[in-house]
């Protein structure tokens, strides 16, 4: 009787179009808080509507930008964990044999790219990139804490800057959505890793993959709304499951 890990490894060794969606759970083992974990999540200590919205930024840009710079520095100090590293190696193996691999992440911490993943689509933007509110021009602040809040724009006197992350009520970057759609159109294996699957459109990607007849996978230590509808559900941490999947890929 093959285990889910063995099935997933075999599917990764033979399929042609892999699509992965990740959430904050993939970075939990890098000590970056998730959103909805009741005890340790970012939101255990505050209501997201008070900081992660354009209205909150309009009303109190100092508090919002101070909090995001705090998160930015936390992400810069974090290191990719075995789950990130295994995903990057899985991508290399799939593409080396001519397959396509698209990593759609809801995370803004940049750890997939730092781990070596190359085809990464940042659906919710990146906390490492900020932009001028007057001109829209983007920049990457240095490794030290910003000196003033809200930070002054480096491009326009008198203008302030904000993080290039998607806030509640804001549209996702069109180029990210287009990339996700293109990837799902040729998907023959779909993996949902470390996400509570409650925020759309990412939560709906599993439906698009299922509609194409692609086998679907969930890796999450807790059940979610999609756990019952995936082909293989792995009730484990991504930092444990992904290295185990990678290890078995070498047998195929």
Binding site for ligand OAD (CB under 6 A): 23-25, 28-29, 34-37, 41, 52, 106, 124, 166, 194-196, 199, 219-222, 224, 237-239
Across-strand partners of 90?
none
**Nearest-angstrom CA–CA distance, 250 and 252:** 6
| Cβ 204 to ligand OAD shortest distance, Å | 13
Residue closer to ligand OAD (CB basis): 41 or 74: 41
Residue nearest to ligand OAD (CB): 25
Which residues does the annotation mark as catalytic? 124
Within 119-215, strands assigned E span 120-122, 125-132, 138-139, 161-165, 189-193
Task: Please report how close the Cβ of residue 107 comes to ligand OAD at its closest, in angstroms.
Answer: 7
Closest to ligand OAD by CB, 21 vs 214, is 21
- β 138-139/161-165 pair status: unpaired
Please state the separation of Cα 41 from the chain's center in Å. Answer: 16
Residue (92 or 235) nearer to ligand OAD, CB? 235
CB of 180 to ligand OAD, least distance (A): 14
Nearest 5°: CA angle at 239, between 221 and 106? 75
């Amino acid at each position: 009787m093959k285990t889910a890990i063995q099935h997933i490894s075999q599917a990764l060794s033979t399929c042609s179009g892999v699509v992965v969606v990740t959430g904050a759970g993939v970075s939990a083992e890098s000590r970056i808080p998730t959103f909805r974990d009741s005890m340790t999540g970012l939101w255990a200590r505050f209501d997201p509507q008070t900081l992660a919205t354009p209205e909150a930024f309009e009303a109190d840009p100092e508090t919002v930008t101070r909090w995001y710079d705090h998160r930015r520095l936390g992400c810069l100090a974090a290191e990719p964990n075995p789950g990130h590293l295994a995903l990057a190696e899985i991508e290399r193996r799939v593409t080396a044999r001519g397959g396509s691999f698209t990593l759609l992440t809801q995370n803004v911490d940049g750890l997939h790219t730092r781990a070596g993943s190359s085809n990464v689509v940042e659906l919710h933007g990146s906390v490492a990139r900020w932009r001028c509110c007057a001109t829209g021009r983007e920049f990457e602040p240095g490794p030290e804490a910003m000196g003033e809040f809200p930070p002054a724009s480096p491009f326009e006197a008198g203008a302030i800057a904000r993080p290039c992350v998607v806030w509640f009520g804001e549209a996702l970057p069109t180029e990210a959505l287009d990339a996700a759609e293109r990837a799902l159109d040729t998907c023959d294996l779909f993996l949902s890793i470390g996400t509570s699957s409650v925020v759309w459109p990412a939560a709906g990607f599993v439906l698009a993959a299922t509609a194409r007849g692609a086998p679907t996978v969930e890796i999450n230590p807790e059940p979610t709304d999609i756990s019952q509808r995936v082909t293989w559900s792995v009730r484990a941490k991504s930092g444990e499951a992904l290295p185990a999947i990678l290890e078995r890929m070498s047998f195929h």
